[in-house]
Amino acid sequence: MPVSVLESSLFKDMFGSAAMRAVFDDQATVQRYVEVEIALARVQARLGIIPADAARTIAERADAAALDLAKLKAETEIVGYPILPLVHQLAPLCGPAGEYLHWGATTQDIMDTATVLQVRQALELIEADLAALDATLDGLAERYRDTPMAGRTHLQHALPVTFGYKAAVWLLMIRRHRERLAQLRPRVLVGQFGGAAGTLASLGEQGLAVQQALMQELGLACPPVSWHVARDGLVETVQFLALVAGSLGKIALDVMLMMTNELGEAFEPFVKGRGASSTMPQKRNPISCELMWSASKTVRQHAGLMLDAMVQDFERATGPWHLEWSAVPEAFVLTAGSLRQACFMLDGLEVDTGRMARNLDLSGGLIVAEAVMMGLAPHIGRQTAHDVVYDACRQASLSQCRLADVLAEDPRVLGRLDAASIERLCDPANYLGSAPRMVDRMRGTS
C-alpha cells in the first residue's frame, strides 16, 4: 500500500504526471548512474588514464537493465548509498574491464551528476508546460480584453476591471517564470566530479582535465570548484518550482472563488461526473483548482526543506544531503501535476460574461464611486467630493437605491453634474482605466 499520493495507483495522475515520474523513478535513476559511470570511463580512456579497450567494454556491457534491483536494494540498505552496490554488480558484467569502473570518483559525484541530468530533463518538461500555459492565458487575455467584471480587493467590490486584465495578470507570472527558468539553467546544470573530498587528489595532475572532459561528454557545465556541500543550485531549482506552484495556487484560488454559486463567473471545463458529490447531485466542485492549491502548499514545504538542507558540515555532509532525495523529485512531480491541471482547466475554462455583468451591477453603481468623486472634484475639490460621494454611497446602500439616483437628488451635485454626466460616471464600463491597454502591453501588441 503506497504511503504517498505520488505513488498511489488511485491518485498519482491527479497529483503528478507520468512523464515527470518517469524522469525520477528507480529505473531512470539507476540508468543515470550507469550513464555517468560510462561517460567517466570514456573520457578517462581518451586522456590515457585507463585502457581504451576497458572503456569500450564498460560502454558495451554496463547495462542498467541487467542489474538485479532486489540485490541493489538490499546492499544499498547496508551501505547507505547505492553506488558501491551498483559498481559491485557492474564490474562482473564488464569482466576484467570492470576494475577500471568508478576510477577516481566518489559516490556523491555519481549521484549528484545523475540528479543534475534528471533535473535537466525535468526542466524541459516544465518549460513545455509553461509555454503551453502561456499560450492559453495569452488567448484568454485577448478574448476578454474588454469584458468588464468586478475587481475585488479584500473580497469586496473595488473598481471595474476586465477579465482579460485578470488573465494578463496571471500571464505576467507565467512569463516571469519562463524567464527565471532560462536564467536558472546555467547555475543548476553543472556536473559534479571531485573525488573523496572534492580535490580530485586520486587523479593527480589530470583531475581537472577529467572533470572538464566528463562535463563536456554529458553536456553539463563544469564547476570551478567542487560543490559537494554548496547546494544552492539544487535549492534554487526547488525555490523556482515553489514559485511556479505558488502562482498556480493563486490562479486556482481565483477560479475557485469565481466558481462559487454566489459569483458564478467562471467554471472548470465540464466533464460528466467531474467534481460530483456522492450525496449532492447538483455539485460541480473545482477539482483541478483544489489539486493546484494543494500542490502550492506542498511544494512550498519542500522549498523550505531544501533551504534547511543547505546547512552542511565541512567538506561532505553528515545527513542533509538525504533530504534532497525526496524533496527534489517530489517537488518536480507535484509541480508538473499542477501545471497539467492548470493547462486542462484554463484551456477549457467556461466564462460567463453575463454573470460578470450582473455582478458588476450588484452594488447599484457603488463600484464606480471613485469615478464619480473624480468627476465631481474639479467642481468642488477632491476632499469635498470624497465626502459628498461617501454620504451618497452610504445613503444608496441603506436605501437599496442606485447611486446615480441618490446623486441626482443631492443639492451639492446638482448644477455641477447633469443627469447624463452622472449616468455616464456611474457606468462601470466607462471606468476601466488602462486595463485593456495593459492587456495589449502584456501580450506585446501595443
Query: In 160-199, which positions are buried (b, 16+ CB within 10 angstroms) versus exposed (e)?
Result: bbbbbbbbbbbbebbbebbebbeebbeebbbbbbbbbebe
Cα-based angle 57, 214, 110 (whole degrees, multiple of 5): 80
Active site residue 296: no
- Catalytic position from the list 277, 326, 399, 446: 277
Alpha carbon distance 23, 19 (integer Å)? 7
Alpha carbon distance 77, 305 (integer Å)? 23
Could you tell me how far CA 275 lies from the centroid of its own chain?
24
Alpha carbon distance 281, 276 (integer Å)? 7
- Catalytic position from the list 8, 88, 102, 154: 154
Active site residue 154: yes
The answer to whether the CB of 309 falls within 8 A of the CB of 236 is no
Q: In sequence order, what are the residues at sequence separation of 6 or more whose Cβ sits closer than 8 angstroms to the Cβ of residue 336? A: 16, 17, 19, 20, 122, 125, 126, 129
Strand 266-267 relative to strand 350-351: parallel, antiparallel, unpaired? antiparallel
Cell of 30: 539507476
Cell of 174: 507565467
Residue 354: half-sphere exposure toward Cβ, Cα within 13 Å: 0
Residue 352: how many other CB atoms lie within 10 Å? 17
The answer to whether the CB of 375 falls within 8 A of the CB of 425 is yes
Q: Which residues are tagged catalytic?
A: 154, 277
